């Protein structure tokens, strides 16, 4: 996790995302829209693979953090997410590590699935924590395979989203950030 140094160099950095023992080990950027980081690196230079980026509608009170990234060949960016279609891969990589400016979280994955780009999976607003937990139970029930997670202490949902190359379909991996899950305060 190189967030603090990286954030000093690239002010649009909001977190660092890692999936242990995979190629996913990247900063997550936040732009003024969901277009800029599709084809720009954190330093602002053009690049076809772009950067991982948080949905621009996210704010500090958001409890659904949607992170977009290209389905890069050779596992680049979110190119390896499709491996989660196999439950055995999830068994080897069951959690995301998310570093913010003040904490590091281990976030267990609870749902893996294909959705349409306009799916309710991309819902950003929840009335209260009960509504959030209801959403998470629905998302878990839609997963390609059952993953048992207790949502009692759920604080946020983290959704990793990438294209599939099939029309308007997306592949998503969802994890829960639970209260008290910080590993480094």
pLDDT per residue rounded down to tens, the chain (185 residues)? 444 555 667 778 899 999 999 999 999 999 999 999 999 999 999 999 999 999 999 887 899 999 999 888 877 888 899 999 999 999 999 999 998 888 889 999 999 999 999 999 999 999 999 999 999 999 999 999 999 998 988 899 999 999 987 788 999 999 999 876 655 44
Q: What is the pLDDT of residue 92?
A: 97
HEC assignment per residue over 108-173 = EEEEEEEEECCCHHHCCCCCCHHHHHHHHHHHHHCCCCCCCCCCCCEEEEEEEEEECCCCCEEEEE
Is CATH 3.40.1130.10 correct for 3-184? no
How far apart, in whole angstroms, are the C-alpha atoms of residue 156 and residue 172?
16
- List the domain boundaries for the chain: 3-184
Q: What is the pLDDT of residue 181?
A: 65
Q: What is the pLDDT of residue 152?
A: 85
């Amino acid at each position: 996790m190189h967030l603090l140094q990286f954030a000093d160099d690239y002010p649009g950095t909001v977190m660092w995302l890692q999936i242990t023992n995979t190629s996913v080990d990247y900063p997550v950027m936040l732009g003024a829209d969901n277009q800029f980081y599709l084809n720009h690196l954190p330093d602002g230079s053009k690049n076809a693979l772009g950067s991982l980026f948080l949905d621009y509608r996210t704010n500090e009170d958001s409890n659904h953090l949607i992170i977009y990234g290209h389905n890069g060949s050779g596992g680049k960016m979110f190119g390896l997410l499709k491996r989660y279609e196999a439950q055995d891969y999830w068994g080897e990589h069951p959690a995301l590590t998310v570093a913010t400016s003040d904490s590091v979280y281990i976030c267990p994955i609870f749902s893996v699935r294909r959705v349409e780009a306009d799916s309710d999976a991309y819902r950003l607003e929840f009335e209260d924590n009960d509504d959030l937990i209801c959403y998470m139970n629905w998302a878990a029930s839609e997963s390609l395979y059952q993953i048992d997670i207790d949502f009692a202490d759920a604080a946020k949902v983290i959704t990793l989203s990438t294209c599939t190359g099939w029309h308007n379909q997306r592949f998503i991996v969802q994890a829960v950030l639970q209260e008290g899950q910080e590993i480094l305060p």
